[in-house]
């Protein structure tokens, strides 16, 4: 079988993280692990087009990366004899004999039996001793194989800033002794929350970018779902892991309907539900049921359950809003944040009317956020308080950095003006 | 194994009244004893206040001696423990106990060299 650049890129996307995770465990050095894996892929890009795709591309990459790592260790010879031996033992997975370095190279394991240390890598890259932006960058770099330039571009920060974040995070992992292991049961809930927060940040930015010309960044959302799937495979019994994946899948299922052909925002109530991706939605709803059955509800599961209620509704006006409010009540009890309160108020407005919703919104301290103003604007519009609504739309427009959101809000403000104008002239 | 310094950051000013301070000191003493019992304790010290501090500065051939502290701040280094443990997770657990016991922020830093 001939192999083109796409095949190499495809294997890279799927296997980079696993190869780095395995190499990092034996080399005890993230930089060295990354270098070895990158060299292996450079070799793949050279040779696969000629030799064809190997029977086990992942095994080939791992073996080649190990060979490169051993080459480098020999060449540099900077490590002490004992350390060198320890690292080699790690690479071999056993005691080093005279021919150990040859043993390392022998045999191409089949993919399913390849070692996988990605779970360790996840917990290292997402350690709470690292700042959240560093955790996000490092996770995308080490597990997603994204380049520094890609990460910087995705979050709209300078490349030098991202590069520095990654370098400093790796230095801290080394100097502060951030371990390369999966936390024990006692620590796991806290540490897992830190991991899921990283994936959620990536997804949220992909779903609705904080700034820029497009509503979302598909590549980041895709990457987040990929990480979510990986975590769900590695930790199939953690309900919050399944909940986050379900939440992302349900949100992604609506993507085709979230914007019109010109990229303009279409609100949930106005979306053409036949454009929703039913395969993703089905998978999301199935996961929601599965995680809720585990009987340990958490914030991601509840948000996913809310998304599932919307997903179940054949049309906007047949949404089970009382159920949505009940789920938000539960969510607010677990995580009493102003954003949860704001979303809850929107649902309450659907059940008890816009006046009831507005009373709740006015009590939420989110004046600095554009969403708070946008929600107020809509409720005021529905109450016929057009002047107040106009002021609220203006305040929301002023506070968003997303061009598509700004265009949407400007349109709403304009529609208000058009509706008012005849009255003004009368 | 890595050595870490756990520093305790105290507000500048008079110490809290004995009825508040005493139970805290008892608990800190217990943590210190647990560190020794578990074999991770290297050294520990509680310091006098910043008013007791003196700063030396090298200036060409001379060394100037001036009244301290080096940095005037609302918080100062009140004390520290040095422990030797497997990794940052282990030292953070000791730090958690110290901050719960004292209500003060604890800073954890790895020792680069000078340890055993």
- Whether B2 contacts B111, CB under 8 Å: yes
Residues of chain B with Cβ-Cβ distance to A176 below 8 Å are 88, 108-110
Q: Which residue of B has its CA nearest to A179?
A: B87
Comparing CA positions, the residue from A276, A267, A147, A279 lying closest to residue A219 is A147
Residue B87 has pLDDT above 70, yes or no: yes
Residues of chain A with Cβ-Cβ distance to B92 below 8 Å are 129
d(CA A225, CA A246): 9
What's the 3-state SS for A241-306?
A: HHHHHHHHHHHHHCHHHHECCCCCECCHHHCCHHHCCHHHHHHHHHHHHHHHHCCCCCHHHHHHHH
- With cut-offs at 50, 70 and 90, classify the pLDDT of residue B51: confident
d(CA A235, CA A239): 9
d(CA B112, CA B110): 6
Residue B107 has pLDDT above 80, yes or no: yes
**Chain position carrying tokens 């790690």:** A90
Express each pLDDT in A144-177 by its tens digit: 888 898 888 888 889 999 999 999 999 999 999 9
- Whether the CB of A178 is below 8 Å from some CB of chain B: the reply is yes
Interface residue ranges in chain B relative to chain A, Cβ cutoff 8 Å: 2, 4, 86-89, 91-92, 108-110, 112
Residues of chain B with Cβ-Cβ distance to A129 below 8 Å are 88, 92
- Whether the CB of A102 is below 8 Å from some CB of chain B: the reply is no
- Whether the CB of A176 is below 8 Å from some CB of chain B: the reply is yes
DSSP of A144-200: T---HHHHHHHHT--HHHHHHHHHHHHHHHHHTT--SSPPPTTTHHHHHHHHHHHHH
Distance (Å) from the alpha carbon of B36 to chain A's nearest alpha carbon: 21
Distance (Å) from the alpha carbon of A188 to chain B's nearest alpha carbon: 12
Q: Which residue of A has its CA nearest to B5?
A: A176
The whole-number pLDDT of residue A1 equals 58
User: Are B88 and A175 in contact (CB < 8 Å)?
Assistant: no
A–B interface: beta-carbon pairs under 8 A: 25
Work out the percent of chain B whose per-residue pLDDT is above 90.
Answer: 82
Q: Where are the domains of chain A?
A: 5-108
User: Are A179 and B92 in contact (CB < 8 Å)?
Assistant: no
The whole-number pLDDT of residue A153 equals 84
Express each pLDDT in A93-130 by its tens digit: 544 443 333 433 344 444 556 788 889 999 999 999 99
d(CA B112, CA B4): 9
CA A26 to chain centre: 28
User: Are A177 and B88 in contact (CB < 8 Å)?
Assistant: yes
Q: Which residue of A has its CA nearest to B108?
A: A176
d(CA B43, CA B36): 10
Query: What class has domain A5-108?
Result: mainly alpha
The 8-class DSSP code of residue B47 comes to: P
Residues of chain A with Cβ-Cβ distance to B106 below 8 Å are none
Count of CB atoms situated within 10 Å of the CB of A391: 16
Which domains are present in chain B? 2-110 (3.30.70.1060)
Q: Which residue of B has its CA nearest to A178?
A: B88
The whole-number pLDDT of residue A90 equals 63
Q: Looking at per-residue confidence, does A195 or B114 come out higher?
A: A195
The whole-number pLDDT of residue A421 equals 52
How high is the mean pLDDT of chain B? 93
Residues of chain B with Cβ-Cβ distance to A187 below 8 Å are 89
d(CA B13, CA B25): 18
Residues of chain A with pLDDT under 50: 94-110, 423-426
Residues of chain A with Cβ-Cβ distance to B89 below 8 Å are 178-179, 183, 187
User: Are A177 and B2 in contact (CB < 8 Å)?
Assistant: yes
């Amino acid at each position: 079988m001939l192999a083109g650049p796409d095949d190499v890129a495809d294997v890279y996307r799927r296997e980079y993280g696993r190869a780095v995770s395995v190499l990092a465990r034996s080399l005890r050095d993230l930089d060295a692990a990354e270098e070895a894996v990158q060299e292996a892929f450079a070799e793949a890009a050279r040779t696969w087009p000629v030799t064809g795709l190997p029977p086990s591309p992942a095994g080939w990459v791992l073996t080649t990366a190990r060979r490169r790592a051993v080459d480098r260790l020999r060449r540099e010879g900077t490590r002490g004899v004992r350390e060198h031996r320890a690292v080699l033992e790690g690479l071999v997975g056993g005691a080093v004999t005279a021919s150990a370095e040859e043993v390392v190279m022998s045999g191409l394991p089949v993919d399913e039996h390849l070692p996988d240390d990605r779970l360790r890598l996840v917990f290292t890259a997402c350690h709470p001793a690292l700042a959240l932006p560093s955790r996000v960058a490092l996770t995308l770099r080490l597990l997603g194989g994204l380049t520094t330039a890609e990460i910087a571009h995705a979050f709209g920060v300078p490349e030098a800033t991202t590069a520095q974040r990654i370098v400093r995070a790796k230095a801290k992992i080394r100097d502060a002794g951030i371990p390369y292991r999966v936390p024990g049961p006692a620590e796991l809930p806290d540490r897992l929350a830190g991991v899921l927060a990283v994936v959620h940040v990536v997804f949220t930015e992909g779903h609705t970018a904080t700034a820029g010309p497009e509503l979302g960044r598909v590549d980041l959302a895709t990457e987040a779902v990929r990480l979510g799937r990986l975590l769900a495979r590695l930790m199939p019994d953690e309900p919050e892991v399944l909940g986050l994946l379900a939440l992302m899948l349900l949100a992604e299922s609506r993507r085709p309907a979230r914007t019109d052909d010109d990229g303009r925002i279409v609100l949930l109530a106005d979306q053409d539900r036949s454009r929703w991706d039913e395969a993703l939605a089905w998978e999301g709803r199935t996961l929601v049921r599965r995680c809720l059955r585990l009987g340990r509800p958490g914030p991601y599961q509840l948000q996913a359950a809310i998304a599932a209620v919307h997903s179940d509704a054949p049309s906007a006006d047949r949404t089970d809003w009382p159920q949505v409010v009940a789920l938000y009540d539960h969510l607010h009890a677990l995580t009493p944040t102003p954003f949860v309160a704001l979303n809850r108020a929107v649902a309450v407005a659907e059940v008890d009317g816009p006046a009831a919703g507005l009373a709740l919104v006015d009590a939420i301290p989110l004046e600095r956020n554009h969403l708070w103003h946008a929600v107020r604007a809509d409720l005021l519009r529905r109450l016929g308080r057009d002047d107040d609504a106009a002021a609220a739309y203006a305040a929301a427009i002023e506070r968003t950095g997303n061009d598509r959101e700004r265009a949407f809000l400007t349109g709403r403000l304009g529609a208000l003006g058009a509706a008012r104008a005849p009255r003004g002239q009368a | 194994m890595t050595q870490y310094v756990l520093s305790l950051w105290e507000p500048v000013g008079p110490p809290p009244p004995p009825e508040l301070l005493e139970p805290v000191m008892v608990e800190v003493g217990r943590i210190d004893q647990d560190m020794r019992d578990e074999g991770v304790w290297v050294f520990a010290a509680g310091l006098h206040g910043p008013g007791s501090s003196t700063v030396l500065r090298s200036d060409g051939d001379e060394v100037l001696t001036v009244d301290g502290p080096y940095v005037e701040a609302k918080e100062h280094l009140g004390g520290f423990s040095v422990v030797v443990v497997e990794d940052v997770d282990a030292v953070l657990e000791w730090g958690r106990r110290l901050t719960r016991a004292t209500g003060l922020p604890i800073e954890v830093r790895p020792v680069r060299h000078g340890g055993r």
